[in-house]
Structure 1
Amino acid sequence: MSLPDAMAEIVDDFGALGDSDKVTLLLEFSRELPDLPEHLLEDAMEPVPECQSPVFLSVDASDPTSVRLHFSAPPEAPTTRGFASILHQGLDGASADEILAVPADFYHDLGLGSAVSPLRLRGMAGMLARIKGQVRAQTAGSGGPPTAP
């Protein structure tokens, strides 16, 4: 599996834990999601309707060697916030090529399938798909990465 180093480390951290500890780690991630920068307003961000909670994301791939990601997820949705934080910590600053190479189902390697509902996992997949879509759109025709699934 091709993952940026930061994301591979997160996957390894989850892989080393039992189910209840994985949930605890996910909740820790939810508390680590950074606040939005002042220049970003939620209404200017892309919604992620695949998530059960209102989640919004912003992708800045103007520098394809260091893509910037921002998320807005409500504190009362810790699972969703945790997923957003995992994606932020694992992909923010990665190159467009690295992000596009992340397998769509990498979240299975976190081992949360028995602790989190499939619907919630699909929300994380939706976030990743939208990140990749924005990266593709922003780098198309700029000599950036080729369009890849």
Structure 2
Amino acid sequence: MNVLRRTAAALASVVALSACSGNPTLADEEARMERSRQVWNAQGLDDYRMTVRITGGLLGGSAIIEVRDGVPVSVQPAEGGPQHLPMSAFARYDTVEELFAVLEQAFDTGADDVDATYDATLGLPLTVAIDPMENAIDEEHGFLVEGFTKL
């Protein structure tokens, strides 16, 4: 989990993010997610391009995903980084709604820890680190939104 936390912290210093002080509980994190989802839904954005990096265990890779009318129309490997995943691995991460669904599943299944940051203006999740089970090895996973553009 340390690698995911360091990566999320580095990205947070580059991008404007909403922050939460103290040590939030899982219920606090879920409430933050719901507030951010409301902000995202209020945007009414159906056309966008985002670069998503999947992290966790021995897996990793980035894709540039284009969404039109709320539907992914293109998933291409991102340049300039290690690519260890087939593009089909991004099916769970190919819209902002799917990113929220990954978070929601973590809360619904009682993950041990969920750390997430959200874009303060748009509401979309930017960094997510999920630890499903305390003291288990290599089951941590998450994602980073490394770029986002309205189309």
Same fold (TM over 0.5): no
TM-score by length of 2: 0.35
TM-score by length of 1: 0.35
